[in-house]
A = this chain, B = another copy of it.
């Protein structure tokens, strides 16, 4: 619903938008998106209208007033008691157990973790942040996507620097 609100009208567009923005903390697959859109329509939170492109069928979704209200209620319902951010990551898991390795292998693992954090930072900063800026200029200035993208880039940068100071012999 949030993606629809930001201008992604079709299921395909919702998936594409998620890939280009929320992928790092909330990935979505097409097989999730299509049934979900249908359910939200059945619940009266989205309205659908046929918007074919030539002979190719396309469904253009938009938020109903009830959908807008439900989205805002969901945004307001966040409480700090909710589970904290999960840094779900098999790299950190390996670092956790890295005492089973030799010192050289340990250093190599830390180096690879640094590389990956640096790559994630670069990708967010060079691809995702500019895309969010463009969205802000285009669609009535939503700032959430840009703020989250910058937070992500800076956090990966922080992790990269932190790991550079680790001396895990």
A72's closest neighbor in chain B, by CB? B100
Which residues of chain A in 59-104 are interfacial with respect to chain B, using CB atoms and an 8 Å cutoff? 68, 71-72, 74-76, 78-80, 82, 84-101
User: Which range holds the interface residue count of chain A?
Assistant: 35 or more
Which residues of chain A in 1-28 are interfacial with respect to chain B, using CB atoms and an 8 Å cutoff? 2, 5-6, 21-22, 24-27
A131 within 8 A of B: no
The reply to whether B89 and A25 contact each other, CB–CB distance below 8 Å, is yes
The reply to whether B120 and A100 contact each other, CB–CB distance below 8 Å, is no
Please give 20 more A-B residue pairs, beta carbons under 8 A apart, in addition to A86-B89, A96-B145.
A22-B96, A24-B84, A24-B86, A26-B90, A27-B86, A68-B100, A72-B101, A74-B94, A75-B98, A76-B105, A78-B90, A80-B116, A84-B116, A85-B92, A86-B86, A96-B148, A154-B162, A155-B158, A155-B162, A158-B158
